[in-house]
């Protein structure tokens, strides 16, 4: 284990988080919140100094192997969360540190689950920090480091694979640093375009920034108690579009950028993603209309809510907890599937779902025609056995963590739907669930033990289980594993 290299990465994470903390400090000054601004400024400066000092000892080798990458990414997210919770606790926005940790982990992992009962009571500094944490975590802080700091060539792929969601990560351009820079450039442009469109619709600048951070980061922290219900239909529709776009594999945008429109449209995962989304919207809308809903209003609300849960954003314009049972179960189905691999969205990922369906089809064909050679293909290319194996390991691990988490939080004696959807919402980084944790509820009633379980689920879900679980394996910390 290259501890010096891991320490070097952690030092950079701490220093960069210190720079990020200056945004809420500046926001606090602009709105006359001098106490909160001072807290954020102080914590930020301490982080910058600590990061610089701890990174002064340079590692002899900058080469990352898979084990170091997993450990560095997991520890980076833990350290980032532990520090990020401090201002929320010190400013007394969230007095108990564990509650503050739950809130900021929910922010960084783009989950959007909250323990707050009155969001509007927070200062502008705290509100912008909550929302900005989505934007930081959406693409990943390690990807940001790769974009701005040169590191050892091919080994950086291991670092990016450990943090980026999805069954596989590849280079868009020959150099890994260029790929990371390009991803963040697309991410930044999407955010800026959304801010401009929301401003054109009459939304204030502060609100536009917060909601754009939460949309492109697929996070979902609102700055009003009713989330987005009180905003105009225009603003809701803009956010619907950008939630949906943020759930698309960023390779799609890259192909559009280099004018390979046919290659972009040929991506099989994108077609499935469109199909899942449109199918869910139509079925739920028909179900609502059949139960007395107005067609136009129902379609607009359903389009928003399905985009919100399938991309794991978590914003709400209506309480879908009150929808008919079929619609509620369709929402659970969308929560489980999630967004595309290589996007900022959560969930199991469309690419994995497609591969699971193709594996079932292959098995059925081979039972009917035992001598037939079947090859699983995605985008007309054969899928490597290693990718299939990792997908299968992921789903088995996901089920194990899901069931164990439900058992652990059941000590709080809440109803089964609350427990099941609370774990689903945190493990898939969605935000709201059903019943007590529905769009009009929150996670404040859970015990601190259950909140720790759900904090673990949020981190494990964002890092796709394996990187965080590796920390608990004894072989990880041996010199020769």
pLDDT at site 345: 86
Count Cβ neighbours within 10 Å for each residue of 55-78 and write b for 16 or more, e otherwise: beeebeebbbebbbbbbbbbbbbe
Q: Are 414 and 202 in contact (CB under 8 A)?
A: no
Task: Calculate the CA dihedral of residues 194, 195, 200, 202 and round it to 10 degrees.
Answer: 120
Which of these ranges, 16-30, 52-66, 110-124, 361-375, has the smallest mean pLDDT? 52-66
Average pLDDT, the chain: 88
Helices (H), 247-349: 250-257, 261-266, 268-290, 295-310, 325-337
Q: How many CA atoms lie within 13 A of 408 on its CB side?
A: 19
Residue 226 in this model has a pLDDT that exceeds 70: yes
Residue 331 in this model has a pLDDT that exceeds 90: yes
Residue whose structure tokens are 């064909």: 365
CA distance 134 to 211: 10
Residue whose structure tokens are 């179960």: 329
Q: How many residues does the chain have?
A: 481
Express each pLDDT in 347-369 by its tens digit: 889 988 999 999 998 889 888 88
Express each pLDDT in 413-455 by its tens digit: 999 999 999 999 999 999 888 899 988 889 999 999 999 999 9
Express each pLDDT in 38-84 by its tens digit: 999 999 999 999 999 988 877 776 666 677 778 888 899 999 999 99
pLDDT at site 391: 86
Inter-CA distances, 283 with 42, 45, 148, 152, 170, Å: 52, 52, 45, 50, 35
Residue 286 in this model has a pLDDT that exceeds 60: yes
Retrieve residue 76's tokens. 């980076």
- Candidates 467, 474, 472; CA nearest to 67 is 467
Phi, psi for 382 (deg, rounded to 5):
-65, 135
Residue 174 in this model has a pLDDT that exceeds 50: no
Residue 480 in this model has a pLDDT that exceeds 60: no
CA distance 108 to 117: 20
CA distance 16 to 29: 21
pLDDT at site 40: 97
Model pTM? 0.90
Express each pLDDT in 375-390 by its tens digit: 888 878 888 888 888 8
Helices (H), 311-384: 325-337, 350-368
pLDDT at site 147: 58
Retrieve residue 295's tokens. 């067609």
* pLDDT bucket at 175, cuts 50 / 70 / 90: low
Mean pLDDT along residues 113-117: 93
Q: Residues 429, 12, 135, CA angle at the centre, nearest 5°?
A: 30
Residue 161 in this model has a pLDDT that exceeds 50: yes
Give 322: exposed, middle or buried? Use CB within 10 Å, 0-12, 13-18, 19+: exposed
Task: Give the distance between the most distant pair of CA atoms in the chain.
Answer: 75
Express each pLDDT in 240-281 by its tens digit: 999 999 999 888 898 888 888 888 888 899 999 999 999 999
Residue 328 in this model has a pLDDT that exceeds 70: yes
* pLDDT bucket at 181, cuts 50 / 70 / 90: confident
* pLDDT bucket at 113, cuts 50 / 70 / 90: very high
CA distance 27 to 35: 12
Mean pLDDT along residues 187-191: 93
Percent of the chain at pLDDT exceeding 70: 91
Residue 143 in this model has a pLDDT that exceeds 60: yes
CA distance 358 to 291: 36
Retrieve residue 461's tokens. 């879900």
Q: How many CA atoms lie within 13 A of 72 on its CB side?
A: 33
pLDDT at site 162: 56
pLDDT at site 63: 66
Sign for the pseudo-dihedral over CA of 127, 465, 280, 378: positive
Mean pLDDT along residues 10-28: 95
How many helices and strands, by DSSP H and E, does the chain display?
Answer: 21, 2
């Amino acid at each position: 284990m290259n501890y010096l290299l891991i320490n070097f990465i952690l030092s950079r994470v701490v220093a960069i988080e210190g720079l990020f903390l200056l945004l809420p400090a500046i926001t606090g000054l602009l709105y006359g919140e001098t106490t909160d601004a001072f807290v954020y400024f102080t914590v930020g400066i301490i982080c910058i100094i600590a990061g610089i000092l701890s990174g002064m000892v340079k590692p002899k080798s900058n080469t990352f192997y898979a084990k170091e990458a997993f450990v560095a990414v997991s520890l980076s997210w833990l350290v980032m969360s532990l520090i990020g919770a401090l201002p929320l606790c010190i400013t007394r926005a969230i007095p108990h540190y564990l509650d503050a940790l739950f809130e900021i982990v929910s922010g960084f992992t783009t989950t959007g689950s909250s323990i707050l009962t009155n969001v509007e009571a927070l200062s502008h500094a705290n509100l912008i920090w909550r929302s900005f944490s989505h934007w930081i975590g959406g693409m990943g802080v390690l990807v940001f480091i790769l974009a701005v700091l040169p590191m050892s060539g091919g080994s950086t792929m291991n670092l990016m694979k450990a943090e980026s969601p999805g069954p596989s990560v590849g280079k868009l351009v020959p150099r890994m640093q260029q790929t990371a820079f390009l991803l963040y450039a697309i991410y930044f442009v999407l955010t800026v375009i959304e801010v401009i469109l929301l401003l054109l619709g009459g939304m204030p600048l502060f609100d536009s920034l917060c909601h754009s951070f939460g949309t492109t980061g697929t996070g979902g922290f609102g700055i009003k108690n009713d989330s987005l219900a009180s905003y105009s239909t225009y603003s809701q529709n803009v956010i619907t579009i950008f939630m949906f776009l943020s759930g698309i594999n960023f390779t799609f945008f890259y192909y559009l950028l280099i004018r390979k429109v046919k290659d972009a449209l040929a991506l099989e995962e994108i077609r499935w993603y469109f199909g899942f989304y449109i199918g869910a919207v139509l079925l739920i809308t028909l179900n609502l209309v059949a139960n007395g809903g107005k067609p136009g209003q129902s379609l607009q609300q359903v389009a928003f809510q399905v985009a919100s849960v399938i991309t794991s954003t978590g914003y709400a314009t209506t309480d879908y907890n009150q929808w008919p049972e079929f619609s509620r179960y369709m929402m659970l189905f969308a929560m489980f599937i999630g967004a595309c691999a290589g996007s900022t969205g959560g969930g199991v990922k469309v690419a994995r779902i497609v591969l699971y369906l193709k594996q079932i089809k292959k098995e059925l064909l081979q039972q009917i025609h035992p001598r037939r050679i079947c090859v699983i293909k995605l985008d007309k290319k054969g899928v490597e056995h290693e990718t299939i194996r990792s997908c299968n390991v992921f789903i088995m691990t996901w089920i194990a963590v899901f069931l164990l988490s439900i058992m652990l939080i059941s000590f709080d004696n809440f109803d089964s739907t609350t427990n099941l959807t609370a774990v689903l919402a945190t493990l898939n980084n969605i935000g709201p669930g059903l019943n007590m944790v529905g769009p009009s509820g929150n996670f404040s009633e859970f015990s601190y033990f259950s909140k720790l379980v759900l904090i673990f689920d949020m981190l494990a879900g964002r890092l796709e289980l394996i990187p965080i679980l590796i920390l608990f394996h004894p072989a990880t910390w041996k010199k020769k594993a």
